[in-house]
Each structure stands twice: as structure tokens, then as C-alpha cells.
């Protein structure tokens, strides 16, 4: 029997990139995956891939920046399945005009709501289901910008992703007595559609050297499959050819 047979995993941002890869990996491991994103079509594509491989997937589109949508989806999950064992709190976004010189209040709000508020809404929505069973895993996709403020990622994104890391650690501080484990996942550069919003375009050759969605999806699967007495509190996953390190190295030799 696969490790996650009988478990229900809610994956946000499941129509593309890391979320899609995580959903496919968790379904292969036997979980029933519930897929959320704003656009229905990419979710349908992920669900079709999973079903064609013999897995179970359900789509629940919605905008996670709206607390009411999150509550509705979580209620649907509870009604249909009676449980949510795994939350992959992964949906996130960035903006093109991200530097202080161009940042507007509306753009800052979008980045903070799209990366941090949404992550809080999803966590608060699933924790009651997990407490009831005294079991559950939350995996939050933060970023290396959530540990080291990054001009490349911008101030609002760096601040929001720092918030996601803090949020995850506080879940462990409070919910460890309920058998709940929370993992802050900090990727470096991953070749996904989010890179299309970079002010400086990323070439296909550069994308090839980066971590791939499947690398991160497999790490999420690993964390989700760990025995209940183990918590991975925080994990970094970066490309070996780390462009930040390489630039520093070149500067140090100049």
C-alpha cells in the first residue's frame, strides 16, 4: 500500500509549477488531492494527469486572497471527505514593478495578501480538522527570500515570505501537542511560470540550470510521508548552480 493511501491533501497553486508537481507526487503516493487555484483550466489539466495515472483528484477553484473563498473550500473538503491530512500551502505570486522606486500600495497589498494572508487563511481553515484527528502536516512554500531579504524578489515578497516562515514555526510551537507538524519550505530559483514576471527576463538556458518543479514536488512528498513523530521544521532547496553564489564568487575574484 502506498504511504498516503486514505489521506486527503489540499494543494494550493496546483495548476502550475511547484503545486502541480507536488499534487502529482502526492497522488502517486496514494493521497486524494484537492486542487485549488484561481483558474479552472490548469487545475483540470493537473487533475486529468493524475487520473490518467490512476490517482484521485478533485478541483476546487477559488481566490485564496479572499478569506470567504478559503472557508468555503475547506468546508467543502470537510463535508465530502471529513478530513484534511495534508495542506500544501503553496499558492503565491509576485509583481513586475517590485522595487521600492516603483512599488505602489495596491501592488504591495496584492503581494502580501497573495503570499501571506492567503497562507494564514488556509492554515486556520485546516487546523480544526487536523486537531480533531490529532494528526496533520502543513507544508508552506516560502522562499529563500523568506530567510534573506532579496532585491531580486523585491521588498513586499521578501517581507511576505519572512512572514510565512514565522507563521510555520509558530504552528509547531502551539500545535505540536496536537500531533500537527508544520514545515517551512524555502526554495531558491525554480524554473516555473512565476519567473515570467521577473523584471529581467530569465533565459531558457538559465531555467535549465535551476531547480525544477518536480525536484520540489518530490521534497514535498517526502515531508508529507514522514512518520508522525518527526517534524522537518524548515528546509532549503536550491539549484547547485546558485546564481546568487556564482555572482558573489565572480565579484570576489574581480
Ligand X SMILES: NC(=O)c1ccc[n+]([C@@H]2O[C@H](COP(=O)([O-])OP(=O)(O)OC[C@H]3O[C@@H](n4cnc5c(N)ncnc54)[C@H](OP(=O)(O)O)[C@@H]3O)[C@@H](O)[C@H]2O)c1
Q: Is 8 in the site for ligand X (CB under 6 A)?
A: no
Contacts of 56 (CB under 8 A, 6+ apart): 27, 31, 32, 33, 50
Residue 189 C-beta: closest distance to ligand X, Å = 4
The answer to whether 157 is a known catalytic residue is yes
Q: Is 123 in the site for ligand X (CB under 6 A)?
A: no
User: What is the C-alpha to C-alpha distance for residues 72 and 57, in angstroms, rounded to an integer?
Assistant: 18
Q: Is 19 in the site for ligand X (CB under 6 A)?
A: yes
Under a CB-based contact definition with an 8 Å cutoff, are residues 239 and 204 in contact? no
Comparison of 55 and 188: residue with beta carbon closer to ligand X? 188
Paired sense of beta strands 234-237 and 86-89, if any: unpaired
Contacts of 136 (CB under 8 A, 6+ apart): 84, 85, 86, 87, 126, 127, 129, 130, 178, 179, 180, 181
Q: Is 193 in the site for ligand X (CB under 6 A)?
A: yes
The sign one gets for the Cα dihedral 105, 111, 113, 117 is negative
Q: Is 13 in the site for ligand X (CB under 6 A)?
A: yes
Q: Is 163 in the site for ligand X (CB under 6 A)?
A: no
Comparison of 93 and 232: residue with beta carbon closer to ligand X? 93
Residue 33 C-beta: closest distance to ligand X, Å = 14
User: Of the listed 81, 121, 157, 222, which one is catalytic?
Assistant: 157
Q: Is 15 in the site for ligand X (CB under 6 A)?
A: yes
> Where does this chain bind ligand X (CB under 6 A)?
12-13, 15-19, 36-39, 42, 63-65, 90-93, 114, 118, 141, 143, 187, 189-190, 192-194
Which residues are part of the catalytic machinery?
157
Amino acid at each position: 500500500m502506498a504511504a498516503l493511501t486514505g489521506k486527503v491533501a489540499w494543494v494550493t497553486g496546483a495548476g502550475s509549477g511547484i503545486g502541480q508537481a507536488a499534487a502529482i507526487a502526492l497522488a502517486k503516493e496514494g493521497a486524494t488531492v484537492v486542487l485549488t487555484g484561481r483558474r479552472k483550466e490548469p487545475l483540470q489539466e493537473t487533475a486529468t494527469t493524475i487520473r490518467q495515472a490512476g490517482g484521485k483528484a478533485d478541483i476546487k477553484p477559488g481566490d485564496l486572497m479572499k478569506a470567504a473563498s478559503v472557508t468555503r473550500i475547506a468546508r467543502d473538503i470537510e463535508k465530502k471527505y471529513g478530513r484534511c491530512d495534508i495542506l500544501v500551502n503553496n499558492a503565491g505570486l509576485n509583481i513586475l514593478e517590485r522595487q521600492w522606486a516603483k512599488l505602489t500600495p495596491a501592488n504591495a497589498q496584492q503581494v502580501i495578501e497573495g503570499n501571506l494572508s492567503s497562507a494564514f487563511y488556509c492554515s486556520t481553515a485546516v487546523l480544526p480538522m487536523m486537531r480533531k484527528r490529532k494528526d496533520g502536516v502543513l507544508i508552506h512554500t516560502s522562499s529563500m527570500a523568506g530567510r534573506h531579504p532579496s532585491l531580486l524578489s523585491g521588498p513586499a515578497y521578501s517581507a511576505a515570505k519572512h512572514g510565512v516562515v514565522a507563521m510555520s514555526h509558530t504552528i509547531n510551537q502551539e500545535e505540536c501537542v496536537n500531533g500537527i507538524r508544520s514545515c517551512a519550505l524555502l526554495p531558491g530559483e525554480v524554473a516555473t511560470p512565476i519567473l515570467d514576471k521577473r523584471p529581467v527576463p530569465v533565459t531558457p538556458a538559465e531555467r535549465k540550470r535551476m531547480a525544477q518543479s518536480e525536484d520540489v514536488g518530490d521534497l514535498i512528498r517526502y515531508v508529507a510521508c514522514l512518520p508522525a513523530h518527526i517534524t522537518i521544521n524548515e528546509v532549503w532547496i536550491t539549484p547547485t548552480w546558485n546564481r546568487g553564489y556564482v555572482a558573489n564568487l565572480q565579484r570576489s575574484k574581480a
